[in-house]
Amino acid sequence: MSGPSFLEKWQQASGDRQSLLCVGLDPELERLPKPLQGGGPEALVRFCREIVEATLPYACAYKPNLAFFEALGPQGWSLLREILAAIPSEVPVIADAKRGDIGHTARAYAVAIFEQLGCDAVTVQPYLGYDGVQPFLAYREKLAFILCRTSNPGARDFQDLLVRSSAAGAEGEETSDSQLTPLYLAVAERVRQWQERHGNCGLVAGATYPRELAAIRERCPTLPLLVPGVGTQGGELEVAVRAGLDEYGGGILVAVSRAILYAGAGSDYALAAGEAARRLRDAINQARGS
Ligand SMILES: O=C(O)c1cc(=O)[nH]c(=O)n1[C@@H]1O[C@H](COP(=O)(O)O)[C@@H](O)[C@H]1O
């Protein structure tokens, strides 16, 4: 029998800890705090495990970005496993992998992330369309956060392009200029349709673009939104939270990595990370009005 789903774990962890904060695990050897400098991969594992322990009371989820573990070479995945072992099974883990490929390759990615690594959710890019995402959605108890409006400056390059969205007009209908929609909203509309069929979709919407975040929430009132970009990338927490909340004052995971991981550079790094997580958790709650 399979265990609780991502959505069940998230709801529980979020309720227990009164938290919409997702702690990102993006460790870099060069940025380890002073006492761990030069300690290599073992020090990196110790660092992340201590960060997990310190932030656990304030986190509704963890989000390791696979890039930072792949960058460590062949042992990257085993190091990540050691870190994941420190996260209690009731707290969901989102593999930030930004995968997406033709169907049978996407299936292999889904096996790697859900079965080999045992993560509860994944980030996926939608450029290949439905068959590139469906293999992730086939795991009904897992969840796929699909990139919609990313937090980086280059997000404008493609995501703002006006496209003729089939969701905007009926099939075959003449589409006037007013029915053109920015690509990121076409993605939002399409994922809302996928959600009706699958029930395990979410969207990624950066805190650095609060207007776009609000437009996504308006079109997708019930989809879970993963919201990175607060802190180091300059997204304003309060504005982003207000833009992203659903009608029940929830529905978002505010993902923060560096502002927590590197809150302290000395021997107090774990304490400083815990404090940073607590402050973020509380600031999110204040913006929710709770
Ligand atoms: O999918 C993501 O999590 C993501 C999407 C996005 O649009 N922007 C974004 O920053 N991220 C990830 O979120 C994390 C943000 O890290 P910090 O800026 O250090 O909080 C990194 O792992 C990014 O790869």
pLDDT at 169: 45
Rounded (10°) angle between helices 210-219 and 237-244: 10
ipTM value, please give it: 0.99
| pLDDT for res 173 | 53
Pairing of strands 201-205, 225-228: parallel
Please compute the mean of the pLDDT values over residues 150-175 and round it to a whole number. 78
Mean predicted confidence (pLDDT) in 122-150: 98
- In the numeric block, the tokens 């009608």 are attached to 247
Atom index in ligand 1 nearest the CA of residue 145 equals 1
Amino acid (1-letter code) at residue 280? L
- Integer Cα distance of 288 and 17 in angstroms: 15
Provide mean pLDDT across the span 256-268: 97
% of residues, the chain, pLDDT over 70: 95
On average, the pLDDT of the chain sits at 95
Q: Which one of the listed residues 9, 63, 98, 142 is annotated catalytic?
A: 98
Does 256 sit in the ligand 1 pocket, CB within 6 Å? yes
Lowest mean pLDDT among 11-20, 173-182, 200-209: 173-182
Give, as one character, the DSSP assignment of residue 32. S
Q: Write the single-letter amino acid at 11.
A: Q
98 part of the active site: yes
Distance of CA 240 to the CA centre of its chain: 15
Ligand 1 center to 241 CA (angstroms): 16
Average of pLDDT values for 238-244? 98
- Domain map of the chain by residue range? 6-288
Nearest CA to ligand 1 atom 5: 150
Task: Verify whether ligand 1 is closer than 6 Å to residue 235 (CB atom).
Answer: no
Q: For the beta carbon of residue 7, count every other beta carbon within 10 angstroms.
A: 18
Question: What local confidence, expressed as pLDDT, does residue 2 receive?
Answer: 74
∠274-278-282 over CA atoms, to 5°?
170
Residues in the chain: 290
Give residue-wise pLDDT tens across range 26-76: 999 999 999 999 999 999 999 999 999 999 999 999 999 999 999 999 999
> Given this model, what pLDDT does residue 178 score?
62
Distance CA 253, CA 248 (A): 14
Helix (H) or strand (E) holding 163: strand 162-164
The mean per-residue pLDDT over the stretch 16-26 comes to 98
Give per-residue pLDDT as tens, 183-209: 999 999 999 999 999 999 999 999 999
Class of domain 6-288: alpha beta
pLDDT for the residue numbered 99: 98
CB 204 less than 6 A from any atom of ligand 1: yes
The three-point CA angle 65-70-74 to 5° equals: 150
The DSSP H or E segment spanning 5 is none
Confidence label for 168 from pLDDT (cuts 50, 70 and 90): very low
What pLDDT score does 272 carry?
98
Select from 124, 150, 227 the residue to mutate for testing ligand 1; criterion: most ligand atoms less than 8 Å from CB. 150
- The pLDDT score that the predictor gives to residue 165 is 77
Give residue-wise pLDDT tens across range 79-118: 999 999 999 999 999 999 999 999 999 999 999 999 999 9
Ligand 1 proximity of 65 Cβ (cutoff 6 Å): yes
